[in-house]
Amino acid sequence: MQATLNAIISIVRTPAILVGLIAILGQALQKKSFSDTVSSGIKTFIGFLVLSGGAGIVSTSLAPMSKMFMHAFGVQGVVPNNEAVVATVLVEYGTATALIMLVSMIVNVILARFSHFKYIYLSGHVMLYMAAMLAVIMQVAGFGFATEVLFGGLILGIWDTVSPALVQPFLREVTGGNTVALAHTGDFGYAFAGLIAKFTGDKRKSTEDLNIPKSVSFLRDSTVAITITMAVIYIILALFAGPEFVGKMSSGMNYIVFALIQAGTFAGGVYVILAGVRLILNEIIPAFKGISENLVPNSVPALDCPIIFPYAPNATIVGFFASFIGGVVSMFIMIGLHTVIVIPGVVAHFMCGATSGVIGNAVGGRRGAIIGAFSQGILISFLPLALLPVLGKIGLGGATFSDADFGVIGSLIGWSGVNGGVVMIIAAIVISLILFIVASIIASKHSADKTGQNKANA
């Protein structure tokens, strides 16, 4: 029994296998041939491995940037890094984490089936991270194992159904349709960035329409532009950090050469991510039609944030830098306020900032991409300050959870526990479920009214 449970948990926490199986299920429900079904599953599986490999390459290339930044500017503090925190959490809370995640997936499917919000959350790795955070917070608050799994799974399932809906109005501007949604722990931040961009930007002036002189027309190639931009940033940081410090990281390689290699590695990682995204979308969208028609009518697959990078490659880099600058500004504000210092997490600012940049550009053009991503960068810098006190001994380490959803959900549940213990947390979860039902009813009524009005106009 335990071996079976471990196998199931291993599958659901591995996005490549999970989404590959879902593609197979979708094809089977459409009664496609055995050949087409197997081919779709394998291509989706490989696509996610390619995407994950690209994300790993990017993360590896960004790690030296964080070290050079901290050394160059002489700052120490908490670094937002999901993987580092979760690796620590799973040692003690691994079973609770896996079961919370499993319950949340069941809740997500049930809510998508019977509510207005038809989003199926398919980013298993970030789902695992959120489950890990909830496992810590709820045990700190005094929950027993069974109630922790039940209520932790319930609140995570509700959020996994709601969070893609928050971003979808902005994502439709990016993709031009409703075929895919975002499933990432930055969803709250993306909705926040989208709102800021909508009210401050001008969507007529896109980052993708920049007028580039013929003499530098090679910059129209996003891979070339990314490489050159990152090379400039890396070389500047390497100069500030100094050859001795950089030499230790590079095993004796010349520090300028090392900077250039890391810039090229970053660009290569982005290229691999984009290739994986294209492969996934070509398979998962058609396959999901079978699930939509048979299990959860009109359902929409919610996938990881890199799926939108190909829609605006320039905006991904603009968003990354704008978000990172927001993190740097926030850091200096924290130094002035004498609070815990949150060091800008380069990976978090890349993933969340790039996504915010693409969304900001779609609803507010160049200005929207910059302001929206900058605002999101400030948001994910200050939210950890609210989260750290409710993480118990986990919050005393040098790393913390990074993306906006961790700060929002973690603070809601954690501070409910601080102020009222288990009873207050259960009350907060029950209220969240009631609000979800009310929001679903209102959204369904609004959708029906809009459909009726369109028919009348026709």
pLDDT digits (tens, 9 = 90+) for 147-200: 999 999 999 999 999 999 999 999 999 998 888 999 999 999 999 999 999 999
Q: Decide if pLDDT at 396 tops 70.
A: no
Which residue bears the tokens 């880099």? 317
Q: Is the pTM of this model over 0.85?
A: no
The CA-atom distances, in angstroms, between 333 and each of 12, 74, 85, 196, 378 are 40, 15, 25, 21, 10
pLDDT digits (tens, 9 = 90+) for 98-117: 788 878 988 998 999 999 99
The CA-atom distances, in angstroms, between 173 and each of 167, 308, 363 are 10, 11, 7
Are the C-beta atoms of residues 261 and 269 closer than 8 Å to each other?
no
Q: How many CB atoms lie within 10 A of CB 80?
A: 28
Higher-confidence residue: 8 or 65? Answer: 65
Hey, which of 203-207, 297-301, 371-375, 383-387 has the most confident mean pLDDT? 371-375
Predicted local distance difference test score (pLDDT) of residue 165: 95
- In the three-class reduction of DSSP (H, G, I as helix; E, B as strand; rest coil), residue 206 is classed as coil
In the chain, % of residues over pLDDT 90: 34
Predicted local distance difference test score (pLDDT) of residue 389: 87
What band does 339 get if pLDDT is binned at 50, 70 and 90?
Answer: confident
What band does 12 get if pLDDT is binned at 50, 70 and 90?
Answer: low
Average pLDDT, integer, range 261-288: 79
Predicted local distance difference test score (pLDDT) of residue 232: 83
Predicted local distance difference test score (pLDDT) of residue 360: 96
Strand locations in 66-183 (E): 79-80, 119-121, 181-182
pLDDT digits (tens, 9 = 90+) for 429-439: 999 999 999 99
Which of 379, 321, 327 has its CA nearest to residue 350?
321
Cα R_g (the chain), whole angstroms? 22
